[in-house]
Chain A
């Protein structure tokens, strides 16, 4: 038992550390917001929008996968001694451990989604004679006797998955209904009627439908992935579903950590420029005009090249390929943050310019309240909604930007799983005959789902927080 424990070496990558710092930060913020009625009210408005709450549920699935994929470790090599252990060079994550064989079940080369044969004919030895045919896959559909059984087997597995997902959803819903009915002190039947008529104070029907769909999808995926490659395999025979799932973390890291870099710059400099005015305003405006005027892609390209040179000239600082890829991802987030704070800073500057002339700020100044206190107590809380709207609006744009940057060659490390790298790789696959479409299709499906969910959620947040938009809808 103890042996099993010490056979791991916990690996903390830079981005992991920042992600967990971010999670802690968000939890603290949630705790803070829960205790303040005026901060809680707009969030309750977000939760009442069916579209926003459905999107939030989908987003949370992505976030959970991304977080599981951020707990990294290395396995101890089996033949290393106990007192001086050697660890594998492969950095794995808890997510890898959970999906089990998906990572290791590697075929020879391309195979179609749910196929049991390779995508290209090969010469195979059959009882001494050489025949040219589609060879069977090592793992995909390996349990089947013949091609004719495949459709039936897939249907059976899908149906089992669907029904299990449905059952799990019913169970969850039953528990929820019983709990809520007890909490609100009404009978279960009464609660169900209210739920059915949409008379709860939250969009119960949407939540139920979305959760059921997600569970059913998960059920189908689990049952099919156990015996097939659901999205086929790529050029080196790696399962495309696995690659797509691993790419979630990359997308989330870029979407969130970049904002983390942006925020202190935008908030600090934006408010300082608007509040202090004078030469501070001039200097800050000068800096952001200069940064803004440089085409973003080129600045990112220059910075990424610099990081590449740094990594290549200091190879001993990075012991694994994962660390090398990670430092490049971090650098990408940093530089994208440095290039993208200007928009929010300009917005905050304008808002602070307006706020500083208001009576209560004047009064505070007349009482001799210090600048830091005025900014933190009077200015910042009044521009916070702008910051929040910017965070959620930027997220989807950043995820999309990763794909473009990886295509240009200045995105994440080519060895890192990311949707951008998948799209980049699939360009050649589309040109070949017969067409290999599933890698592009998988990248599209995952990216589109994440970005659409993020956009819909952002819309909900914006409508709830932006006072200008409040009355219109």
Chain B
């Protein structure tokens, strides 16, 4: 088991290198620092001096891969690649355009992101499974049919509308909860409730429908027929057998997104003014702050890979038949 995890971790390294090279190519080779400077300083009437000054400020006034002017190992280390791309492997992200340390920002912003993302994930899972089980229990009746239709309708509404409608009705018209904002500790609860509620409702459509198919697939299997033949009641079959076995694909599917919860939700956070990583990313995109975007790409890939490894481990944990080699 330990050897397997170790090997998976080693396998993750070339992937991270790939991600790193790809972002390096996108941000420095296809899109040269000169282009970035021109975009930042405002289109056409930019002097070469201003571009040079911008590059010095951001530390982009170096050769890309090989610094011929330096001596010794500095030939390799005093380059954009080493300073800005390779440094990310030790989580050195440098500074954003606003002069703040990106690493620090990420650490302080993870908390608020998790405060929204984790409840949405946990409550969402619970609600979706409940709905799915209800539909499966009443399968091939009108209740099931209309449940599926409702799911499709809910799926067809853009996430933006859920947020806008929720903010408009609950906060603006009925004054039940604050429209946006964030606070730490117990005070933050009133700010968290609305985004969590909207996040859960927005996910019901696709989630419940997907889990319903998983349970239905499970219900057609032989062991369910055996359980029925033993004379077990439908409720017992559903909760003792189908639910337990259906949870394997559901949980292993959920594990992969678990680490990504740290990244927060882009849209929700920016609508509700939550100082998390999602709104950080959106602000960076809109301000064209390349250093932050690059850092978030790397962080996102890293967390995704962690999720992949966790998925593999959880497979073997949930289903002993899966052997790790």
Binding site for B on A (CB under 8 A): 286-287, 289-290, 292-295, 297-299, 301-303, 305-306, 308-309, 312-313, 396, 400, 403-404, 407-410, 423, 426-427, 430, 440, 444, 447-448, 451-452, 455-456, 459, 468, 472
Contact: B293 with A301, CB < 8 Å?
yes
Q: Which residues of B contact A410 (CB under 8 A)?
A: 285
Nearest CB of chain A from residue B28's CB, rounded to whole Å: 11
Contact: A472 with B155, CB < 8 Å?
no
User: Binding site of A, secondary structure by majority: helix, strand, loop or mixed?
Assistant: helix
Q: Which one of B15-23, B59-67, B68-76, B188-196 is at the A interface? A: B15-23
- The reply on B43 being an interface residue by CB < 8 A is yes
Contact: A293 with B19, CB < 8 Å?
yes
Closest to B296 in A: A298
Q: Which one of B49-57, B221-229, B298-306 is at the A interface? A: B298-306
Q: A299-B297, A301-B293, A430-B164 are in contact. Are A409 and B285 (CB under 8 A)?
A: yes
Cβ < 8 Å to A, chain B residues 29-87: 30-31, 35-36, 38-39, 43
Q: A290-B18, A293-B15 are in contact. Are A423 and B152 (CB under 8 A)?
A: no
Nearest CB of chain B from residue A378's CB, rounded to whole Å: 28
Q: How many A-B residue pairs have CB under 8 A?
A: 121
> Complex formed: what's the CA distance from A452 to B156 in Å?
5
Contact: B14 with A302, CB < 8 Å?
no
Contact: B31 with A305, CB < 8 Å?
yes
Q: Which residues of B contact A295 (CB under 8 A)?
A: 263, 296-297, 300-301, 304
Q: Which residues of B contact A290 (CB under 8 A)?
A: 15, 18-19, 22, 301
Nearest CB of chain B from residue A393's CB, rounded to whole Å: 11
Nearest CB of chain B from residue A144's CB, rounded to whole Å: 32
- The reply on B119 being an interface residue by CB < 8 A is no
Closest to B217 in A: A468
Contact: A456 with B152, CB < 8 Å?
yes
User: Binding site of B, secondary structure by majority: helix, strand, loop or mixed?
Assistant: helix
> Complex formed: what's the CA distance from A126 to B193 in Å?
53
Q: Which residues of A contact B23 (CB under 8 A)?
A: 294, 302
Nearest CB of chain A from residue B150's CB, rounded to whole Å: 12
Q: Which of B18, B153, B288, B301 contacts A452 (CB 8 A)?
A: B153
Nearest CB of chain A from residue B140's CB, rounded to whole Å: 8
What are 29 A-B pairs with beta-carbon distances under 8 A? A287-B18, A289-B308, A293-B300, A294-B297, A295-B301, A298-B281, A298-B285, A298-B293, A299-B297, A301-B285, A302-B26, A302-B31, A309-B38, A312-B38, A312-B39, A313-B35, A313-B38, A400-B158, A403-B158, A404-B159, A407-B160, A423-B158, A430-B168, A440-B164, A444-B161, A451-B157, A455-B156, A468-B217, A472-B220
Nearest CB of chain A from residue B185's CB, rounded to whole Å: 29
Q: A306-B26, A404-B267, A472-B220 are in contact. Are A409 and B286 (CB under 8 A)?
A: yes
Nearest CB of chain A from residue B105's CB, rounded to whole Å: 16
- The reply on B197 being an interface residue by CB < 8 A is no
Nearest CB of chain B from residue A243's CB, rounded to whole Å: 17
- The reply on B198 being an interface residue by CB < 8 A is no
> Complex formed: what's the CA distance from A309 to B281 in Å?
20
Interface contacts beyond A298-B285, A430-B164, A444-B157: sample of 8 additional A-B pairs, CB < 8 Å, sorted by A: A289-B15, A294-B301, A298-B281, A301-B293, A404-B158, A407-B160, A409-B286, A440-B164
Cβ < 8 Å to A, chain B residues 177-217: 216-217
Closest to B168 in A: A430
- The reply on B258 being an interface residue by CB < 8 A is no
Q: Which residues of B contact A472 (CB under 8 A)?
A: 216, 220
- The reply on B266 being an interface residue by CB < 8 A is yes
Closest to B288 in A: A305
Q: Which residues of B contact A448 (CB under 8 A)?
A: 156-158
Q: A305-B39, A409-B286 are in contact. Are A404 and B160 (CB under 8 A)?
A: yes
Closest to A305 in B: B288
> Complex formed: what's the CA distance from A302 to B27 in Å?
8
Contact: A302 with B293, CB < 8 Å?
yes
Q: Which of A309, A423, A468 contacts B31 (CB 8 A)?
A: A309
Q: A408-B285, A444-B161 are in contact. Are A298 and B14 (CB under 8 A)?
A: no
Q: Which residues of A contact B19 (CB under 8 A)?
A: 290, 293-294
* Interface hub of A309, A404, A426 (most chain B Cβ within 10 A): A309
Nearest CB of chain B from residue A466's CB, rounded to whole Å: 11
* Interface hub of A290, A299, A410, A426 (most chain B Cβ within 10 A): A290
> Complex formed: what's the CA distance from A290 to B161 in Å?
32
- The reply on B237 being an interface residue by CB < 8 A is no
Q: Which of A294, A312, A451 contacts B22 (CB 8 A)?
A: A294
> Complex formed: what's the CA distance from A295 to B158 in Å?
20
> Complex formed: what's the CA distance from A408 to B308 in Å?
27
- The reply on B282 being an interface residue by CB < 8 A is yes
Nearest CB of chain B from residue A69's CB, rounded to whole Å: 21
> Complex formed: what's the CA distance from A276 to B160 in Å?
43
Q: Which residues of B contact A403 (CB under 8 A)?
A: 158, 160
Nearest CB of chain B from residue A430's CB, rounded to whole Å: 6
Q: Which residues of A contact B297 (CB under 8 A)?
A: 294-295, 298-299, 302
> Complex formed: what's the CA distance from A71 to B268 in Å?
38
Contact: A452 with B300, CB < 8 Å?
no
Q: Which residues of B contact A408 (CB under 8 A)?
A: 266-267, 282, 285-286
> Complex formed: what's the CA distance from A294 to B24 in Å?
13
Contact: A423 with B300, CB < 8 Å?
no
Contact: B300 with A294, CB < 8 Å?
yes
> Complex formed: what's the CA distance from A293 to B217 in Å?
29
Nearest CB of chain A from residue B235's CB, rounded to whole Å: 21
Q: Which residues of B contact A426 (CB under 8 A)?
A: 164
Nearest CB of chain B from residue A336's CB, rounded to whole Å: 15
Q: Which residues of A contact B217 (CB under 8 A)?
A: 468
Q: Which residues of B contact A301 (CB under 8 A)?
A: 285, 293
- 3 nearest A-B pairs in the assembled complex, by CB-CB distance: A295-B300, A290-B18, A452-B156
Nearest CB of chain A from residue B282's CB, rounded to whole Å: 6
Q: Which residues of B contact A459 (CB under 8 A)?
A: 152
> Complex formed: what's the CA distance from A305 to B281 in Å?
14
Contact: B285 with A447, CB < 8 Å?
no
> Complex formed: what's the CA distance from A408 to B39 in Å?
18
Encode B252-290 as 1/0 by CB contact (under 8 A) with A.
Answer: 000000000001001100000000000001100110101
Contact: A455 with B152, CB < 8 Å?
yes
Nearest CB of chain B from residue A58's CB, rounded to whole Å: 12
Q: Which of A297, A400, A427 contacts B159 (CB 8 A)?
A: A400
Q: Which residues of B contact A451 (CB under 8 A)?
A: 155-158
* Interface hub of B153, B156, B168, B220 (most chain A Cβ within 10 A): B156
> Complex formed: what's the CA distance from A344 to B217 in Å?
21
> Complex formed: what's the CA distance from A301 to B285 in Å?
7
Nearest CB of chain A from residue B163's CB, rounded to whole Å: 10
> Complex formed: what's the CA distance from A469 to B291 in Å?
47
> Complex formed: what's the CA distance from A286 to B296 in Å?
21
Q: Which residues of B contact A404 (CB under 8 A)?
A: 158-160, 266-267
* Interface hub of B153, B160, B300, B301 (most chain A Cβ within 10 A): B160
Q: A295-B297, A409-B285, A447-B158 are in contact. Are A309 and B15 (CB under 8 A)?
A: no
Q: Which residues of B contact A407 (CB under 8 A)?
A: 160, 267
